[in-house]
Structure 1
Amino acid sequence: MDLTRFRTGVGIVLASALVTGCGFFGGEDAEPVETRPASEILDDIQEERRPNRSQSSFFDFFRNRGDAGQIGAVNKYIWNASLETLDFLPVQSVDPFTGVITTGFGTPPGGGRAYRATILVNDPALDARSLNVALMTRNGPASAATVRAVEDAILTRARQLRQQDSRF
């Protein structure tokens, strides 16, 4: 019985010495791990995901390109028509990549009621489904007829801009 206790004690001592000694050899000279900044890593990832990473050539001039009527994922004609049609409203924020235009309160020329608008252009197509307009008055939401009239005015102006652009 004493021999088994001795063996168990020696085994525990050796095991604990081995575990505590693991960091003893060479632990002082270890250098900290250096990582690159997140912005560099994101730039590398975006560069890898870019579809045409190769250098351009002379023949790229003759290839078909994407629609020139797009800014990011929105239609540039609807975008510009929205800004032109609602130019009487002070613009608070604009994001052409998500397609959101937010304005403050303003009164239309010849009108007495103040409106605030939020416009969402969510599709690159020149289509009525690409435009969402939300109008607010100081007393609450504007009537559906007013919203429809503003949407029609924006889409009409977008078609006019498209026709002017196609003449060149």
Structure 2
Amino acid sequence: MTARISHETRTPGTFARAGLVAVAALALAGCGGGERPKADIAASRVTTIGVNSYLWRASLDTLAFMPLVQTDSSGGVIVTDWYANPENPNERVKVSVSILDQDLRADALRVAASRQVAQASGWVNAPVQAATVQKLEDIILTRARDLRRNAIGG
């Protein structure tokens, strides 16, 4: 719907009324069943970072105890430095998280981990159990869902 206003009939309030009509029309157009809440869309699609903000924040929260080497919110990459648990100083791990999409989905998250153990000759690469990486992914996804739930008020 287009409103035409001739030059002769313009009054100071005409533009304000036209603006209110346009805002009301946009608001009504946004109403509909089954749509995602605006807070969810804002965090998922309209962000200043290139990836899902819930996954990004959840990843940073989950890895907060480890020193970070690289964080790239546009590319969705977080890389930690080696971290040794004080209770087990003969073992250290390094984690890399990649967020691959703007949507909050399990397949939008990829976690990789490296592990080393101390031996007489120095640090030696050791295998990482798949369950460890899976558990880390689960923690991040659960945290991201909690952040989303809190943001949309539910």
Question: Do Structure 1 and Structure 2 share a fold, with TM-score over 0.5?
Answer: yes
Report the equivalent of 1:96: 73
Report the equivalent of 1:132: 110
- Alignment root-mean-square deviation, CA: 2.7
Corresponding letter in the other structure for 2:93: Y
Q: Percent identity?
A: 36
What secondary structure, in the 3-state scheme, does the structure 1 residue paired with 2:84 have? coil
Q: Which contiguous aligned blocks of 4+ residues in structure 1 show a shift greater than 3 angstroms? A: 57-66, 70-73, 107-113
Change beyond 3 A, Cα 1:125–1:109: farther
Corresponding letter in the other structure for 1:135: A
Greater gyration radius: 1
Report the equivalent of 1:148: 134
Identify which of structures 1 and 2 has the higher relative contact order when contacts are C-alpha pairs closer than 8 Å and 6+ apart: 2
Aligned residue pairs: how many? 112
In structure 2, stretches of 5+ residues that fail to align are 1-17, 31-37, 117-124
Change beyond 3 A, Cα 1:97–1:149: same
40, 57, 65: which one pairs with 1:80?
A: 57
Report the equivalent of 1:162: 148
Report the equivalent of 1:120: 98
Is contact 1:135–1:141 with CA below 8 Å preserved after alignment? Answer: no
Task: Report the alpha carbon displacement of residue 109 of structure 1 after superposing the two structures with TM.
Answer: 7.5
Is contact 1:88–1:109 with CA below 8 Å preserved after alignment? Answer: no
> Matches of 1:108 and 1:153 in 2, distance apart?
18
Corresponding letter in the other structure for 1:99: G
Corresponding letter in the other structure for 2:139: A
**Which structure's residues are more often strand, by fraction?**
2
74, 84, 88: which one pairs with 1:107?
A: 84
> Matches of 1:153 and 1:104 in 2, distance apart?
20
> Matches of 1:141 and 1:122 in 2, distance apart?
25
What secondary structure, in the 3-state scheme, does the structure 1 residue paired with 2:97 have? strand
Report the equivalent of 2:34: none
Change beyond 3 A, Cα 1:159–1:114: same
Is contact 1:88–1:108 with CA below 8 Å preserved after alignment? Answer: no
Task: Report the alpha carbon displacement of residue 77 of structure 1 after superposing the two structures with TM.
Answer: 0.5
TM-score for the superposition, normalised by structure 1: 0.57
Change beyond 3 A, Cα 1:60–1:120: farther
